[in-house]
Amino acid sequence: MRAGLYWMGIAVGLGIAACGGSGSEPPPFAVTPSLTAEQACSALSTLNETTSSPNGTYRVNVTSAVLVPAAAATATLAQQPEHCQVQGSMNDRVSPVNGQRYAIKFNLRLPSSSAWNGRFFMMGGGGTNGTLGDARGALPGAGQTENALSRGFAVVSTDSGHDNATNNDPNDGGIGSFSRDPQSRRDYYYDSYDHVTQAGKRFVQRYYGKAADRSYFVGCSEGGREALLMAERYPSYYDGIISGAPNISAVRSASPQIVQDLAKLARDSGIPDNGGLPSIHKTYSDSDVQLVSSAVLQACDALDGLKDGMVGDPQACTTARVRPELERLICSGAKAADCLTALQVAVFPQIMEGAFNSKGQQIASGWNWDAGIGGSANGVVNQGWRSWFFGSFGGAVSNSPKLISHNLPYVAVTPPPVLKVAEIPEWMLNYDYRSLSEDPAVNYPASGIYTDPPGVVFTAYGAGNEYRNRGSKLLVYHGLADSAIAFSGTVKWFEQTQAKTNAQDFVRFYPVPGMNHCAGGPATDKFEMLTPLVDWVEKGIAPNAIIAEASNPAYFAVPSRSRPLCPFPTVPTYNGTGNVDSAASFSCR
């Protein structure tokens, strides 16, 4: 099998005479040497590439270039074509601040010439990154049946400049210790994605003898933030971007407020402390949370024209609608499984509101009322929502909510505090968010060696005309029952984008009723956005509704369910006739 067209340097590296062109950069299609795919892949290890940004020029170090054979699909992984897997790093160094060794690592998979579809794809990370990623290009919402590599994309991933296995100091924030080093913090904010994009595209050029025809970026959560970052900071790099549940700003975080309000509820309710910390996980049982979900449905289920166990109109489902239904659940006597205490009813809307400063001004977005709040439905357990706010009710640890381990102390505070991992819960409990000004960015400016103000560089303000004018497109989606990242924050981002430019020309924003963080919940959470994005970019076919299916229809006690995901602010509305579990019976209005 032949690998296709390759660059002159590969031919020279293998002792094959090259012809045509002069200087260090060969012209495209300079040679077509008769190399096996294995030889051509191996030759990539000899490349001497560099990438540049305002923060420096880095040499690309290839650590391995191996031909991976084609493989059939399995139950957990899509089929893969034969491809060249290249791994390496950039900016390998020892930090003068904490003495740890850092590097921007990358993982790249290049399909054989016959399998390559001519496109480049970068996959986003998650959390605070620190994990290299498999570079197969998972498609959020599409399940495990396919990925970008299986479709023929050249795919790259990165750890964003630090490694959770080695850059992990339990006496200085654990895996958050990377933010002690200003360059590692900068790499995580934005710089690594710049360099890895450049390197990935250069390898594509070298391997195939031509640049990619189109480039795409896809990510959810932190990867969703990275996706919006590319559209705003590097608008010429990608032709199409998918951003799911974007972590738009850790600076404007409501986490401390939630933790502190629940801690007070635990103690005011007489729940014993656990290990000296308030038992946040015991403030609401699974049945309590399900009661809240039932109250939401009672207040808002029919607002989209059909009572179907889903809240289709997020803007209409307000605290003012839900609160009376919650108050009807207050126990007339002792606490029981079918009622809530007056304290529980008072605090739940409070933690849903977001964070406010000492002036009463909102500084962090609030969460949506949605059926996906519930702990179960029709016997199907849903822990996705409560895992962030409360943690496991049956757990032995009082500080189990995921919000406790939020990255706020490290990536969003300047300078970052020195905290042992065990001290993080106490920091969250004692953090005085109510003293913040109306814009938390003011509280976390550039400081000393930390020259990047988090409130500026770690925040998405809305894509602008430069991205739009080059014909690039952007799809954004967010679950309405996301308890990790507030849906309303993404609404604000969309409104900021609209204020900058005609967003309808290049952006579609899709709410996903019932869906938890990036997936799961009583939702039609299985959908495929890459094909509509490619069609919009390459054929000019703008998407409207995107059909989504329930990955677990047992939530609704039906064999299957589909719905249209509607571009905001339209909502999926029942037409009045037809199968209520079929998307064909709904319109976006």
Write out the catalytic residue numbers: 221, 482, 517
Residue 543: other Cβ atoms inside 10 A: 17
| Cα–Cα distance measured from residue 352 to residue 344, given in angstroms and rounded to the nearest whole number | 13
> E-strand spans in 131-239?
154-158, 214-220
Q: Which of 279, 257, 280 is nearest to 350 (CA)?
A: 257
Q: Show the CA angle centred on residue 557, arms to residues 525 and 585, nearest 5°.
A: 60
| Cα–Cα distance measured from residue 559 to residue 553, given in angstroms and rounded to the nearest whole number | 6
Burial class of residue 96 in the structure, from the number of CB atoms within 10 Å of its CB (0-12 exposed, 13-18 middle, 19+ buried):
exposed
Instruction: Please state whether the peptide bond connecting residue 256 to the residue before it is cis, i.e. omega within 30 degrees of 0.
Output: no
Q: Which of 456, 440, 499, 512 is nearest to 220 (CA)?
A: 512
78: three-class secondary structure by DSSP: coil
| Cα–Cα distance measured from residue 297 to residue 373, given in angstroms and rounded to the nearest whole number | 10
Q: Does an H or E element contain 318, and which? A: none
Nearest-Å Rg of the Cα atoms of the chain is 25
Q: What is the DSSP letter of 405?
A: G
β-pairing, 473-479 vs 546-549, is unpaired
